[in-house]
Amino acid sequence: MLKKILLCLFGILFLTSVATQAITLDFKGFIADEAKLLSDDVKNDLNVTLWNLQQKSGADLAVVTLPSLSGRKIEDVALEIGRSYKLGAVGKNNGMVFLTAPNERLMRIELGLGLEDKISIETLEYIRDNDILPYYKKGDYESGIARGTYLLVHEIARAEGVSVEAHGNCPPRDRSNSKSDIPLWVYVLVIILGGYRRMRTSNTGSFGGFGGGGGFGGSGCSGSW
Instruction: Dump pLDDT digits (tens) for 81-96.
Output: 999 999 999 999 999 9
Mean pLDDT, residues 111-120: 97
Q: What pLDDT, on the 0 to 100 scale, is given for residue 207?
A: 60
Return d(Cα 68, Cα 74) in angstroms, integer: 10
d(CA 73, CA 179): 26
Q: What is the pLDDT of residue 71?
A: 96
Under a CB-based contact definition with an 8 Å cutoff, are residues 121 and 221 in contact?
yes
Rounded mean pLDDT of 203-220?
A: 79
Average pLDDT over residues 133-141: 98
Pairing of strands 31-33, 60-65: parallel
Region 124-138: what's the mean pLDDT? 98
Helix (H, G, I), strand (E, B) or coil at 79: helix
When the pLDDT of each residue in the chain is averaged and rounded to a whole number, the result is 84
Residue of 2 and 93 predicted with greater confidence? 93
C-beta pairs of 144-147 under 8 Å, 24+ apart in sequence? 144/100, 145/37, 145/38, 145/42, 145/63, 145/65, 145/98, 145/100, 146/38, 146/42, 146/45, 146/46, 146/170, 146/171, 147/171, 147/173
Cβ 207 vs Cβ 29: under 8 Å = yes
Is residue 116 within a helix (H) or strand (E), and if so which, with residue range?
none
pLDDT at 221: 98
User: Would you call 175 helix, strand, or coil by DSSP?
Assistant: coil
The structural domains of the chain, with segments of one domain joined by +, span 27-224
Residue range 39-65, pLDDT digits in tens: 999 999 999 999 999 999 999 999 999
How large a percentage of the chain has pLDDT more than 70? 76
Looking at the predicted structure, is the pLDDT value of residue 194 above 50?
no
Flag whether pLDDT at 17 surpasses 50.
no
CB contact at 8 A, 65 and 38: yes
Model pLDDT, residue 205: 44
- Is residue 124 within 8 A of residue 221, CB to CB? The reply is yes
pLDDT higher for 166 or 204? 166
Structurally, at CATH architecture level, domain 27-224 sits in Roll (3.10)
